Homo-oligomer: A and B are copies of this chain.
Amino acid sequence: MSKKILLSHGGGGEETQNLIKELFFKHFDNEILLRMEDAASLVMGSTKIAFTTDSFVVSPLFFKGGNIGKLAIAGTVNDLSMMGAKPKYLTCSFMIEEGFEYAKLEEIVISMRDEMAKSGVKIVAGDTKVVPRGGVDGLFINTAGIGEIQYEGISAHNLTEGDVIIVSNEVGNHGACILATREEIELESDLQTDCASLWKPVEALINAGVKIHALRDATRGGLSAVLNEWAETSKVCIEVDEAKIPVAQEVKGVCELLGFEPYEFANEGTMVICLPQSEAQKALEVLQTFPETAKCAFIGKVTTAFTCKVILHTPWGSERFLEPPKGELLPRIC
């Protein structure tokens, strides 16, 4: 049987990494791409810029706390922010199914406008394709973005023994929210996506002089994917304390009900930060002043116990490896 593309190739876990390395890196080989950061860092003339892209295929298009449009802005703003780059300009491309409701499209466009205002980014070029019914399910949006690098040297290669790991918010909210919507689970409380633009808190960290080693938003593959990629890229061990990882009660509920791990759930406005221990207190104080990062927490540290591995210390004193996410995970989560 001929080899086919599987859902797991798009899950953000191990199979996605393999597809990228075996197919795209093989043919699109160049040193900037191979760095594998959230955005490419480039020099144009004498200016250092970051450049990134993301397509959004989330289903459903509307969910608690957001919609595909908000996601498409925040996602690309965050990819730039994670490179220490001030988001400046976006392009936006709509792929729309014939018959899509104009009013829904306008609602999405308005969400995009509102989300752009939060970081001051602008859409400067666009494209619209309409495909006959059945050619695409509703609406896909691609955004690409350019930012001005304001803090250099952030990289997945920089983790050093003694560094600490901080998450900026509860983990798993976006994944749990989408899953609950799809499965029509009635949640007692108000679980919603964490979708948010993170440039303001990142800018505040930079302005406060906080030294950052690595920074990444925990999207597809969640916290687990980021930590494992970092451990492997920097050839270190990351040890995290499960009791310290903030997880909303409703997210725990969804996970127990459906057999998922909150650490593998996608987030859309939650970042993981690695920095020297001496910087941790200042970073937490800065993050606490923003509503989108007010629930930030110190969760672990960089050691050399098991190179390229992530160790989870459970509240009961035992420990286990937090393995990189694998398999289908959740298709169309973003």
B3 with A44: CB separation less than 8 A: no
Residues of B near A8 (CB, < 8 A) are 130
Q: From A140, which residue of chain B is reached at the shortest CB distance?
A: B95
B33 with A122: CB separation less than 8 A: yes
| A181 in the interface (beta carbon within 8 A) | no
- Copies per complex of this chain: 2
State in angstroms the CA–CA spacing of A39 and B137 once bound together. 28
State in angstroms the CA–CA spacing of A89 and B57 once bound together. 24
Q: Which of A22-75 contact B (CB under 8 A)?
A: 23-24, 27-28, 30, 32-33, 39-40, 42, 44-47, 49, 51-55, 57, 59
Residues of B near A131 (CB, < 8 A) are 10, 57, 137, 331-332
| A4 in the interface (beta carbon within 8 A) | yes
Residues of B near A39 (CB, < 8 A) are 125
* From B51, B94, B105, B122, contact of A91 by CB (8 A): B51
A134 with B137: CB separation less than 8 A: yes
Residues of B near A112 (CB, < 8 A) are 27-28
Known: A52-B91, A91-B53, A135-B332. A98 touches B7 (CB 8 A): yes
State in angstroms the CA–CA spacing of A40 and B142 once bound together. 17
B89 with A40: CB separation less than 8 A: yes
Known: A28-B109, A45-B148, A125-B53. A5 touches B40 (CB 8 A): no
For this complex, into which size category does the number of interface residues on chain A fall? 35 or more
State in angstroms the CA–CA spacing of A148 and B113 once bound together. 28
| A186 in the interface (beta carbon within 8 A) | no
Residues of B near A109 (CB, < 8 A) are 23-24, 27-28
* From B28, B51, B110, B129, contact of A113 by CB (8 A): B28
| A291 in the interface (beta carbon within 8 A) | no
Residues of B near A208 (CB, < 8 A) are none
State in angstroms the CA–CA spacing of A137 and B209 once bound together. 49
| A132 in the interface (beta carbon within 8 A) | yes
A130 with B100: CB separation less than 8 A: no
| A99 in the interface (beta carbon within 8 A) | yes
| A144 in the interface (beta carbon within 8 A) | yes
A128 with B33: CB separation less than 8 A: no
Q: From A135, which residue of chain B is reached at the shortest CB distance?
A: B137
| A294 in the interface (beta carbon within 8 A) | no
Q: From A99, which residue of chain B is reached at the shortest CB distance?
A: B4
A103 with B2: CB separation less than 8 A: yes
State in angstroms the CA–CA spacing of A6 and B97 once bound together. 8
Interface residues of A (CB under 8 A from B): 2-11, 16, 19-20, 23-24, 27-28, 30, 32-33, 39-40, 42, 44-47, 49, 51-55, 57, 59, 88-89, 91-103, 105-106, 109-110, 112-113, 116, 122-132, 134-137, 140, 142, 144, 146, 148, 331-332
Q: Can you list 6 A-B contacts (CB < 8 A)?
A: A4-B99, A6-B98, A24-B126, A42-B124, A57-B135, A135-B137
